[in-house]
Chains A and B, each alone.
Chain A
Amino acid sequence: MHILDVIKRELLLVLKTNNYLKSIDSRLGNPNNSFTVINDVSWRVFSKELRQRVTGKVYWTEFYRYYRLKFLLFFYRMYIRLKQAFGYKASDDELQDFELESH
């Protein structure tokens, strides 16, 4: 079975766009930026358009998780900044997590 044969046609273009965005992001030195953007936008779509289709419980769980992720991202970033401020060097992975990578 060929995977790309069974998924919806339009998704192929979406996958292509995903790949381009990822490569542009990493070439411009901001490698995880599109995930941050997707997080916000997909939450907006979820809360505006999918809200009527899911049960209240699912909606509020997702609400909690979205803000939790944002909160965690914020604190993780603070933690890395603080670490650098006190002279500890953050590892490359951590730097890339938070787009602090320099040119």
Chain B
Amino acid sequence: MSFEEGIPVSHVKEMHAKGINLKKLSSLISETFVYMIYEKGFIHSDPHPGNMFVRKRNGAKSGDDIELVILDHGIYTTLPVETRLSYSKLWRGILSQDERMIRESSKELGADFYELFAAIIVNRTYDDIMKKDKVAATKSRLGEQKNSEEKDAIK
């Protein structure tokens, strides 16, 4: 155990004042956790923003050179290899809009209702995920929706 310095990731204003590159930071966080889950099958059990600190690397001048500190390593869960591979396959299916792959991998994960399952995972309706003409528009296909009309459509 050790004492670590840093700003909690939830304090956006403070980080902004220190000149930390927020986009870089969010990429760093996603890369770290996605790598842990998809490639190593290793899951931090409480990854809330207060458990992540950010700080500039020793002696760094610019806000690009940052370090992420992850706290609270009390509980970790390991994904069995099969689950991890099926889950990665599910995401490939979602990103490349392959219905067969989504179906197969949801079944492997224990969910027969693949349409609903894919919808749960990305928080969008299944129709949105499969919109053929909008492969590249990740906001409208996979991003979060804010207006109430879209939310009603999901209900």
A38 to B25, CA, bound (A): 16
Shortest CB–CB separation between residue A92 and chain B, in angstroms?
9
CB distance from B53 to the nearest CB of A (A): 13
Contacting residues of chain B (16-62) with chain A, CB-CB under 8 angstroms = 16, 22-23, 25-27, 29-31, 33-35, 37-39, 43-45, 47-49, 52
Judged by a CB distance under 8 angstroms, whether A85 is at the interface is no
Alpha-carbon distance A69/B134, docked complex (angstroms)? 11
A23-77 interface with B by 8 A CB criterion: 23-39, 41-46, 49-50, 53, 61-62, 65-66, 68-69, 72-73, 75-76
A49: chain B residues at CB < 8 Å are 85, 88
Beta-carbon contacts under 8 Å, B97-123 to A: 98, 109-111, 113, 116-117, 120-121, 123
Chain B interface mostly: helix
* Contact code string B78-104 (vs A, CB < 8 Å = 1, else 0): 111001110111011001101000000
Taking a contact as CB atoms under 8 Å apart, the answer to whether B35 and A41 are in contact is: yes
Cβ contact within 8 Å between A15 and B111: no
User: Does B137 have its Cβ within 8 Å of any Cβ on chain A?
Assistant: yes
Known: A31-B139, A42-B91. A11 touches B109 (CB 8 A): yes
Whether B30 and A21, one on each chain, are in contact in the complex, defined by CB atoms closer than 8 angstroms, is: yes
Main SS class of interface, A: helix
- Interface pair B34/A38, CB less than 8 Å apart: yes
Chain B hits for A18, CB < 8 A: 121
In the complex, besides A33-B23, A62-B96, A97-B143, 13 extra interface pairs with C-beta distance below 8 angstroms are A10-B79, A13-B43, A15-B121, A26-B144, A28-B22, A36-B138, A41-B88, A42-B95, A50-B85, A50-B89, A93-B139, A96-B139, A96-B143
Q: How far is the CB of A94 from chain B (nearest CB, A)?
A: 8
Residues of B within 8 A of A14 (CB): 37, 43, 79, 87
Q: Mind listing 18 A-B residue pairs with CB under 8 Å?
A: A10-B79, A13-B43, A17-B44, A20-B48, A20-B49, A24-B9, A28-B12, A30-B27, A42-B88, A42-B92, A45-B38, A46-B92, A49-B85, A49-B88, A61-B98, A65-B96, A99-B23, A103-B16
Chain A residues engaging chain B, CB cutoff 8 angstroms: 3, 6-8, 10-11, 13-18, 20-39, 41-46, 49-50, 53, 61-62, 65-66, 68-69, 72-73, 75-76, 93-94, 96-97, 99, 103
Contact B136 A27 (CB under 8 A): no
